[in-house]
Amino acid sequence: MTKKYHVKTGDTFHDLTALQPVRLSLWQWRCRCDQLVEKQANLVCSGHVKSCGCRKGWDQTSHGMTTTKEYHALKDAKRRCNNPDHPQYRHYGGRGIQVCERWSRFEHFFADMGYAPSHVHSLDRIDNNKGYSPDNCRWATQKEQANNTRANHMINYNGEQKTLTQWAEHVGLHRSLVDERLRSDWSVDRALNTPKGQTQQDVKRREKDKVILSLLAAGRIDCDKEGNVYSGAIGKGSNGPKHKYKLRTKRNGTKTLGVSIDRYSYNFYVARIIALKFIKNDNPINHCQVRHKDGEPANNHVTNLYWASPS
């Protein structure tokens, strides 16, 4: 007479843990290698079936490597791919990433991959959208793996293609700073070449200064040391850009010059125009603001202006 066994979820027999009944006495089990299998409860409980079948390969201790880095690298990969309860499952098994059938036996994995070159190397997939297999895996350092993550997008700049991390290292900036700049709609050139500590506001200020200097050089605007600003020659005809100028005075006495060039509009401080033309700035990175010595914003005489650092 066949002995009847009573099984409930969570019961463990040898290498198999009961998950849920499928039908009648057929149960779904999770092997300690994280494979899911369906086996008859009476065969598992009686000891006739002790694993998913991996005992003949995966868990044989004849290779003597069950405590090695290489053994646990493959074991951890299987867990990420096969165990829905694993914290990283959604990034692996949840995306369809699997360990190839050949590597169901550790001996095959070790024959393909060999020893890890050092203690800082770990198992890495070359193509993050493909699974673990001999042609898609390598031993890599944490730095090499960081350059190979899905989140680290490639950037083309000056004819070269590198990851965000590699570009940040190349220009001597932290990766998070470059990433934050790109997310704030900075151009790649700005994000990589703006010194640390410089904000997008600083970059825009320098770009406006370039516009002012170009207008001065072209004679589109002019100024004198007394603090007066004049509109220069206005582009005429169909070939040159159309310029429009408008001087404004704010309630506190600050004077500005509005300039419209084709579709672009700028608003410049008169004091800044005069300072750019007449006052030398030996430290434009740190001394980027124009101040009035007497505190009167309406007095834009060149002797009343000086370059200062932001307050």
Q: What is the DSSP string of 162-186?
A: EEHHHHHHHHT--HHHHHHHHHTT-
| Within-domain flag for 156 | no
| Within-domain flag for 211 | yes
Q: Identify the pLDDT of residue 300.
A: 94
Tell me the residue length of the chain.
311
φ, ψ (nearest 5 deg) of residue 77: -65, -40
Boundary residue ending a domain (135, 170, 193): 193
Instruction: Return the bridge partners of 249, or none.
Output: 255
Tell me if 155 sits within 8 A of 188, measured CB to CB: yes
Q: Identify the pLDDT of residue 45.
A: 84
Instruction: Return the bridge partners of 154, or none.
Output: 163
Q: Are residues 73 and 18 in the same domain?
A: no
Q: Are residues 97 and 120 in the same domain?
A: yes
CATH number of the domain enclosing 252: 3.90.75.20
pLDDT tens digits, residue range 243-280? 567 888 888 889 998 888 777 788 899 999 999 999 99
pLDDT confidence of 235, banded at 50, 70, 90?
very low
Query: CA-CA distance, 168 to 163, in Å (whole number)?
Result: 9
| Within-domain flag for 155 | no
pTM: 0.40
Tell me if 18 sits within 8 A of 9, measured CB to CB: yes
- The token pair at 65 is 């490597």
Q: Are residues 134 and 179 in the same domain?
A: no
pLDDT tens digits, residue range 167-180? 888 888 887 778 77
Does position 310 have pLDDT exceeding 90, yes or no? no
Instruction: Return the bridge partners of 216, or none.
Output: none
Q: Are residues 52 and 75 in the same domain?
A: no
Q: Are residues 91 and 43 in the same domain?
A: no
Q: What is the CA radius of gyration of the chain?
A: 35
- CB half-sphere exposure, 137, CA atoms < 13 A: 22
From residue 176, how far is each of 101, 144, 169, 196 by CA, in Å? 39, 17, 11, 12
pLDDT tens digits, residue range 41-87? 888 888 888 887 766 554 445 567 888 899 999 999 999 999 888 88
| DSSP for residue 212 | H
Kind and range of the H or E run holding 269: strand 264-269
- The token pair at 191 is 């994000």
pLDDT tens digits, residue range 22-42? 888 888 988 877 788 888 888
- The token pair at 144 is 């090499």
| Within-domain flag for 222 | yes
Q: Are residues 132 and 91 in the same domain?
A: yes
Q: Are residues 233 and 139 in the same domain?
A: no
Exposure class string for 123-143: b at 16+ Cβ within 10 A, else e: bbbeebeebbbeeebebbeee
Tell me if 104 sits within 8 A of 61, measured CB to CB: no
Domain of residue 8, residue span: 1-56
Q: Identify the pLDDT of residue 192.
A: 87
Q: Are residues 299 and 211 in the same domain?
A: yes
Q: How many separate domains does the chain show?
A: 4
Across residues 193-200, what is the average pLDDT? 72
